[in-house]
Structure 1
Amino acid sequence: MEIQPKTPSNKGPAEMFTGEVWFDVIAKGEEPSQLRVNMVRFAPGAHTAWHSHANGQTLHVTEGRGLVQSRGGEIIEVSPGDTIYTPPGELHWHGAAPDHFMSHLAMWEALGDGQGGRETAWADHLTEAEYPKK
């Protein structure tokens, strides 16, 4: 057993997020583990760009009120206790509602081929028309 030291919080980079987003890496599995877990905190209105994950992604909302959407699908409101699964390769976004903070655990698996940067494929940012105002 090993207690992992707390790492510093990271600001979400502008090429991946709109608005103020911070995340803490909770698990970045060492081989043979492929598990990745981040605690992500979104300020009101903050959200990801469109993206997909090679092995899918599971989100578990811990605080606040958020929004999730798969490309071409309806925008869905989520709240604490909700768990969202996005299958491999499905383009989607997620983040806070316009007037609430939101935090979630983001969980996914690495590819297992040493190419960790390819786990997530980032696409375009949402347009103003795609993100609801209120």
Structure 2
Amino acid sequence: MENNYLKEQVIRSAGINPLKCMGCGKCSATCPSYDNMEYHPHQFVSMVANGNIEPLLESESLYTCLSCLACLERCPRGVEPVRFVEAVRVAKIRRQGEEHLHPQDIPEMWDEDLPQQAIVSVMRKYWK
């Protein structure tokens, strides 16, 4: 269940259908960081499509990507692998945020002088 939610979150954030990828590897062939990446651009897309996102969250490849858009230019189907890399980065940041504050913790921290905007902001940021 958690894995499907994470997959949908990444795909929604990327705004691209990963199933458009035909796995030709042109994106990876043009990537200037190819030699330093554990998972290459076409593998990012494939792993997202298959829901195998957990290894990507822990991979150094997540930060090795230069976001130079070279993969975007070479893709014959307009898949834009860089968007999936960025979407996984966002998912990792959101996951880190889950460790800090949970909505059920807010009432005990409530302060009458707390602006309403702060409460709404916290709920948006930390609510799943």
When normalised by structure 2's length, the TM-score is 0.29
Higher helix share: 2
When normalised by structure 1's length, the TM-score is 0.28
Larger radius of gyration: 2
